[in-house]
């Protein structure tokens, strides 16, 4: 019976890939995203096999009738187990949160490497050796028990409001004279991000802005143009916090005395084609490494955070 259900499931998936290509593309892309977060790249094989492998890795034992469970529901269960706000029905904090907190406690920083690599480093630092023969969930559980000595992993779900100010520091300069579209401009959190007495991400957490347009100034005096997308910041629980700038961010940077950031945001808020076309002197848009800037969260989001009180 189980074999027959798997055959029917595969046939259904093939039909859906023909009849509803967007549906399967979404499932395939989300599965690839989970695999990339864990291993650094998507894995090979049929979608059903890849989901089974991920379920085993994250300690999600197959339930009776799983063969008949929609693939989308199984993927949602995987995503919830891996990262995001803790789910009350499971009573467990996400795997990514546990790794992030232990990484911060052991190394005073968060890294953006694949999760399996981060776990391996923690095992070496805390236990003395890696244990790659166990599932990822088993390895994280062992690390958690060793780190917190049976007291349990502290965790609290908090809500980050839209428009929350986030202070960052650019760790690499850029100029419209030399930047290229697609270039990454790294930045780091300038201070702990704390919401309702809980630490969401520690100072030093890294993010990346991306150059979406770069045009150098020219010999006739037209100003250069440099446009950035600030992307997001990966938090303790693996949630990517979307950041950006608007008129409110401009005001906050002005009040903080961040003149370089104020000029950069003014430029970013100017719509393409509205820049002054001619200047008396040649001018490029530029900022240096270490430039502080206040960004704002783009939307309200729930996350798992480390209680400080």
User: In this predicted model, what pLDDT tens digit does every residue of 59-117 receive, in sequence order?
Assistant: 887 655 555 678 888 899 999 999 988 764 455 789 999 999 999 999 888 988 999 99
Q: How far apart are CA 264 and CA 281, in angstroms?
A: 19
Name the pLDDT band for 149 (thresholds 50, 70, 90). confident
Please count the structural domains in the chain: 3
| CATH code of 246's domain | 2.40.128
Verify that 128 and 170 share a domain, yes or no. Answer: no
Looking at 121, 139, 154, the residue that finishes a domain is 154
Q: Which domain holds residue 292?
A: 159-307
Is residue 89 a part of any domain in this protein? no
Give per-residue pLDDT as tens, 23-61.
Answer: 455 889 999 999 999 999 999 999 899 999 999 999 887
Spatial CB neighbours of 222, under 8 Å, sequence gap ≥ 6: 277, 278, 279
In a shared domain, residues 218 and 104: no
Given 82, 107, 122, the domain boundary residue is 82
From residue 48, give the alpha-carbon distance in Å to each of 70, 72, 170, 230: 11, 11, 42, 35
Q: pTM for this one? A: 0.82
Among the candidates 31, 48, 82, a domain finishes at 82
Taking only the tens place, the pLDDT of each residue in 268-302 is 887 654 443 322 334 677 788 899 999 999 999 99
In whole angstroms, what separates CA 163 from the centre of its chain?
A: 18
């Amino acid at each position: 019976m189980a074999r027959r259900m798997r055959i029917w499931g595969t046939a259904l998936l093939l039909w859906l890939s023909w009849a509803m290509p967007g549906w399967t593309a979404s499932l395939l892309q989300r599965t690839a995203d989970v695999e990339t977060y864990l291993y650094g790249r998507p894995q090979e094989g049929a979608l059903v096999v890849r989901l089974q492998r991920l379920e085993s890795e994250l300690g999600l034992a197959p339930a009776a009738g799983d063969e008949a469970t929609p693939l989308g529901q199984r993927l949602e269960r995987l995503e919830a187990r891996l990262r995001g706000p803790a789910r009350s029905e499971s009573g467990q904090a996400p795997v990514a949160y546990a790794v992030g907190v232990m990484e911060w406690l052991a190394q005073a920083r968060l890294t953006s490497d694949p999760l399996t690599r981060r776990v391996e480093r923690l095992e070496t630092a805390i236990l003395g050796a890696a244990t790659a023969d166990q599932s990822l969930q088993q390895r994280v559980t062992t690390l958690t028990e060793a780190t917190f000595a049976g007291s349990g992993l502290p965790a609290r779900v908090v809500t980050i409001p839209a428009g929350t100010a986030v202070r960052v520091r650019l760790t690499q300069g850029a100029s419209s004279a030399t930047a290229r579209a697609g270039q990454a401009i790294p930045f780091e959190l300038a201070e702990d991000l704390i919401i309702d007495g809980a630490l969401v991400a520690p100072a030093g957490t890294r993010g990346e802005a991306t150059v979406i347009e770069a045009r150098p100034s020219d010999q006739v005096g037209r100003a250069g143009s440099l446009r950035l997308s600030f992307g997001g910041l990966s938090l303790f629980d693996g949630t990517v916090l979307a950041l950006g700038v608007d008129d409110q961010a401009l005001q906050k940077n002005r009040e903080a005395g961040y003149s370089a950031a104020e000029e950069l945001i003014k430029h970013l808020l100017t719509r393409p084609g509205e820049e002054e076309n001619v200047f008396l002197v040649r001018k490029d848009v530029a900022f240096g490494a270490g430039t502080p800037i206040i960004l704002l969260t783009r939307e309200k989001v729930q996350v798992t955070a480390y209680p400080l009180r």
